[in-house]
A and B are shown apart, each in its own frame.
Chain A
Amino acid sequence: MTSIAPVPRLIEQFERGLDAPICLTWELTYACNLACVHCLSSSGKRDPRELSTDQCKAVIDELERMQVFYVNIGGGEPTVRPDFWELVDYATDHHVGVKFSTNGVRITPEVAARLAASDFVDVQISLDGATAEINDAVRGPGSFAMAIRALENLAAVGFSNAAEPTMPSRHETEEERGRRPKISVVVTRHNVGQLDDFKALADRYGATLRITRLRPSGRGADVWDELHPTADQQRTLYNWLVANGERVLTGDSFFHLSGLGAPGALAGLNMCGAGRVVCLIDPVGDVYACPFAIHDRFLAGNILSNNGSGKPRGFDDVWRNSALFTELRSPQSAGACGSCGHYDSCRGGCMAAKFFTGLPLHGPDPECVEGYGVPALAVGREVPRPRVDHSRTVMLTLSRPPAQAPSRPCNESPI
């Protein structure tokens, strides 16, 4: 007998929300040198209302008080902000770790050396194809070469043992492994056959691979139908992720697939953390439930808005008291999914994926493993458009990657 009283499952406690996020995404600017077809935040042009350096530092002060361990900084391309390094240093000096996503444009040899010397800053290079053809079709011409140059610069300064041929026999410590650069891949119909190639690429540059789900958010809404993996590809992806376990990061992206295997087979918490354990602060201080939900429906409030006594409201108040987050932390109805045996594992899937494909929130995910998303997508539906769009007027369009035979047949076997 033990005296430990039964407690609700941890994820049930998380679904009721925490006093502070475990981590959050902070997009520092809508400005970007690229114009990826699937950009979640429809980035391109800087917004004149973007937070000033001092306003950003005030956010960091709050995150420190709330004991938020780290922020995922993105954009846009965050490194194009002139005060980017000043803010990174300010955050780490105030016990807020930084992981930032970049297309690599500013990762020069000098910057790489600086990153290798900082203990609490992680860099994540975005790459959506293991070859230039596949990558550049989505991220634009020259973007593959730019990302590879950044990875070469990072490898050259010796982040990890893998990139230090002089000490090949030394075992990499857990700390060194944690500090490795990451390669971040959004999985699409065209690159899902390259998973092993991405892994090889990561190994070559002493990096850790991170694979995330394509969301129909931002400009992603325009290309999702053509780019999202097919049902067979999802199964291949699931098996690949299970086989690779914790060696490949996913940011808990694929909980909608957890019904494809035994509970717990997929590494991670496997829950939707939106407004409960994560959220997004956008460049103008708007707080959204998650990075994939830039739309008024998921806007909790703005940190600069007046708190009633002439001062800015601040992030803590939005996190704790907004009506939207209170709603998200209350028990959710399983709706149409209530009678499905997989509901306990997938919890109905991703709210943003449903919303931006025009599906009801209390129904199946568009990529539901039982296939219930398919008929739901086939009926007439209205796809909501976000009010916020910083795309440049001349947009890239999705170019077709060259036709090629699949490198191996799809895995047809049921789990």
Chain B
Amino acid sequence: MPARAVGGLRPPDVAGPAFDPTLGWRLHPQVAVRPEPFGALLYHFGTRKLSFLKNRTILAVVESLGEHPDVRSALRSAGIDDPQEPPYLHALGVLADSNMLIKKDSQ
């Protein structure tokens, strides 16, 4: 199974070039989320790709993304402040790269 893990202990890194946290993002409508004790499994029914969220905080962020005008406000409301955000931005960038997250204004 093609799979990648995000949201864990990877060192902070630059997010994908297309990922802009000042914009609003949401889950792709074809992505199913299955919560698990360690975090969650994400499956994209369109691309057939599987991803893993490695903790419950990133799961809360991903699930609430669509309700926020931009990524940073979703992070803040999940209790992640400025110094804590780099690994989360990285994880969200990885999800955006694989089309699991899309910009709010896209189809």
Residues of A within 8 A of B (CB): 1-7, 10, 13, 18-20, 22-23, 67, 69-70, 95, 97, 119-120, 122, 174-175, 177-179, 246, 249, 251-252, 267-269
Cβ of B64 < 8 Å from any Cβ of A?
A: no
Task: Find chain B residues with CB under 8 A from A7 CB.
Answer: 8-9, 38, 54-55
Whether the pair A18, B36 counts as a contact (CB closer than 8 A) is yes
User: Complex formed: what's the CA distance from A267 to B2 in Å?
Assistant: 8
Which listed residue, B1, B52, B99, touches A23 by the CB 8 Å rule? Answer: B1
CA A4 to CA B5, docked complex, whole Å: 15
Chain A residues near B98 (CB-CB < 8 A): 174
Complex alpha-carbon distance, A251 and B44, angstroms:
17
Q: Are B32 and A95 in contact (CB under 8 A)?
A: yes
Residues from 77 to 95 in B contacting A, C-beta threshold 8 Å: 80, 83-84, 86-87
Cα A120 to Cα B44 in complex, Å, equals 11
| A69 x B43 contact (CB < 8 A) | yes
User: In the bound complex, do residue B1 and residue A269 qualify as a contact, i.e. CB atoms below 8 Å apart?
Assistant: yes
- CB pairs A–B below 8 angstroms (12 shown): A4-B9, A4-B57, A22-B1, A174-B47, A174-B99, A175-B99, A178-B44, A178-B46, A178-B47, A178-B49, A249-B2, A268-B1
A67, A174, A249, A252: the one contacting B32 at CB < 8 Å is A67
Report B38-73 CB contacts with A as 1/0, cut-off 8 Å: 100101111111101011010000000000000000
Contact of B55 among A4, A67, A178, A246 (CB under 8 A): A4
Q: State whether B47 touches A69 (Cβ < 8 A).
A: no
Chain B residues with a Cβ under 8 A of chain A = 1-3, 5, 8-9, 32, 34, 36-38, 41, 43-50, 52, 54-55, 57, 80, 83-84, 86-87, 98-99
Contact A120 B45 (CB under 8 A): yes
Contact of A175 among B8, B47, B87 (CB under 8 A): B47
Given contacts A4-B57, A7-B8, A10-B54, contact A97 B41 (CB under 8 A): no
Once A10-B8, A251-B1, A267-B2 are accepted as A-B contacts, the answer to whether A1 and B83 lie under 8 Å apart by CB is yes
Q: Is the Cβ of B38 less than 8 Å from the Cβ of A3?
A: no
Query: How far, in Å, is A289 (CB) from chain B's closest CB?
Result: 17
Check if B46 sits within 8 Å of A174, measured CB to CB. Answer: yes
Q: How far is the CA of A85 from the CA of B38 in the complex (A)?
A: 36
Further pairs besides A7-B55, A19-B36, A177-B47: 17, Cβ < 8 Å: A1-B83, A1-B84, A3-B80, A4-B55, A6-B9, A7-B8, A7-B9, A18-B36, A22-B50, A69-B41, A97-B48, A119-B45, A119-B46, A174-B46, A174-B47, A178-B47, A267-B2
- Given contacts A2-B84, A119-B45, A177-B47, are A268 and B3 in contact (CB under 8 A)? yes
B50: chain A residues at CB < 8 Å are 22, 69
